[in-house]
């Protein structure tokens, strides 16, 4: 079974609007971490936001917020006020103890296009 | 401060040749990771270093792949007798300590002809 599922291969959004990128995960560990990374066309993976499984509140970092629904095993990324520079691939990733906690398991990614 | 750096940024080689890819982690980061990103397989973990030792090599796809880390800093990923299926982007990441957030370098794009 897929550990991390990103069901949207591509998304587009108008500049200045909000967009939600979906991510569901599968783990039986009670302690795990969820990450979102951005990969622009230059290729570098840029860390955006982290959510721990025991965190009581949804993580936020500037225009990025994580809609964490533990019972549904989803960790959707919300980008508010989209900018042209947000056009990139976005990857959801998980770290779990049974995987050694030292490796990230990535989803297939979602390509976001921001239109002016 | 300086991020993770990797060299070369691009490498084209012929099938059967050996290649070495280099990673310089963020200064002070004790943990270092190698991943591979290919069209067919997505992003895959290869190996993890804590200091100079590699407690997890579970992602190395074959014995043609090896890696070392010296001085708790620079790491080299070596691929011997390259095959066309080795063509991919090889990404290096580092973290301050085990289980901390991983920060990635720009990657090395390897093309095996």
Mean pLDDT of B59-86: 96
Residues A47 and B112: their CA atoms lie apart, in Å, by 29
Phi first, then psi: what are they for A100, rounded to 5°?
95, -5
What is the secondary structure of A44-71 as a DSSP string? --EEEEEEETT-SS--EETTEEEEEETT
Closest-approach residue (CA) in chain B for A97: B99
* pLDDT of res. B98: 83
Residues of chain B in Cβ contact (below 8 Å) with chain A: 31, 33, 35, 42-43, 45, 48, 50, 55-56, 58-59, 89, 91, 93, 98-99, 101-107, 109
| Among the listed residues A26, A46, A24, A49, the one whose alpha carbon sits nearest the alpha carbon of residue A36 | A49
Mean pLDDT of B48-72: 93
* pLDDT of res. B1: 60
Rg of chain A over all Cα atoms, to the nearest angstrom? 14
Length of chain A: 116
Choose the closest CB to B42 out of A33, A43, A106.
A106
The structure tokens listed for B44 are: 């895959």
Burial of A30 (0-12, 13-18, 19+ CB in 10 A): exposed
Percentage of chain A with pLDDT > 70? 99
Choose the closest CB to B101 out of A44, A47, A100.
A47
Q: DSSP class of residue A114?
A: E
Q: Choosing among A41, A44, A46, A51, which should be mutated to test the B contact, i.e. which has the most B CBs within 10 A?
A: A44
Contact A103 B42 (CB under 8 A): no
pLDDT band at residue B41 using 50, 70 and 90 as cut-offs: confident
pLDDT at A2 > cutoff 90:
no
Contact B56 A102 (CB under 8 A): yes
- Ramachandran quadrant class, B76 (left: phi over 0; alpha: psi -120 to 50; beta: rest): beta
Q: DSSP class of residue B101?
A: P
* pLDDT of res. A1: 63
Closest-approach residue (CA) in chain B for A91: B43
Contact A102 B98 (CB under 8 A): yes
pLDDT at B44 > cutoff 80:
yes
| Residue owning tokens 């296009």 | A113
The structure tokens listed for A36 are: 């979102």
Percentage of chain B with pLDDT > 70? 99
* pLDDT of res. B83: 97
pLDDT digits (tens, 9 = 90+) for A15-71: 999 999 999 999 999 999 999 999 999 888 999 999 999 999 999 999 999 999 999
What is the secondary structure of B12-40 as a DSSP string? EE-TT--EEEEEEPPTT--EEEEEEEETT
pLDDT digits (tens, 9 = 90+) for B4-13: 999 999 999 9
* pLDDT of res. B73: 93
Q: Choosing among B47, B104, B105, B110, which should be mutated to test the A contact, i.e. which has the most A CBs within 10 A?
A: B104
* pLDDT of res. A65: 98
pLDDT band at residue A98 using 50, 70 and 90 as cut-offs: confident
The structure tokens listed for B106 are: 């720009």
pLDDT band at residue A97 using 50, 70 and 90 as cut-offs: confident
What's the mean per-residue pLDDT of chain B?
A: 94
Min distance A13 CA to chain B CA atoms (Å): 24
- Ramachandran quadrant class, B79 (left: phi over 0; alpha: psi -120 to 50; beta: rest): beta
pLDDT band at residue A87 using 50, 70 and 90 as cut-offs: very high
What is the secondary structure of B41-96 as a DSSP string? TEEEEEEEEETTEEEE-TT--STTEEEEE-TTS-EEEEE-S--GGG-EEEEEEEES
């Amino acid at each position: 079974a897929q550990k991390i599922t990103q069901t949207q291969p591509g998304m587009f959004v108008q500049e200045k609007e909000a967009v939600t990128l979906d991510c569901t995960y599968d783990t039986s560990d009670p302690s795990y971490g969820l990450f979102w990374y951005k990969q622009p066309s230059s290729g570098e993976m840029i860390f955006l936001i982290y959510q721990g499984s025991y965190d009581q509140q949804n993580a936020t970092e500037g225009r990025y917020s994580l809609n964490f629904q533990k019972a549904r095993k989803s960790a959707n990324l919300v980008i508010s006020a989209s900018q042209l520079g947000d056009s990139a691939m976005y990857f959801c990733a998980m770290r779990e103890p049974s995987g050694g906690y030292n490796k990230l398991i990535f989803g297939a990614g979602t390509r976001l296009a921001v239109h002016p | 401060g300086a991020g993770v750096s990797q060299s070369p940024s691009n490498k084209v080689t012929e099938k059967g040749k050996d290649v070495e890819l280099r990673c310089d982690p963020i200064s002070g980061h004790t943990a270092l990771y190698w991943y591979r990103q290919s069209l067919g397989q997505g992003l895959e973990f290869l190996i993890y270093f804590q200091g100079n030792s590699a407690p997890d090599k579970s992602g190395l796809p074959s014995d043609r792949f090896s890696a070392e880390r010296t001085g708790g800093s620079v790491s080299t990923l070596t691929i011997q007798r390259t095959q066309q299926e080795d063509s991919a982007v090889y990404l290096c990441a580092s973290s301050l300590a085990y289980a901390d957030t991983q920060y990635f370098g720009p990657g090395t794009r390897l093309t095996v002809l």
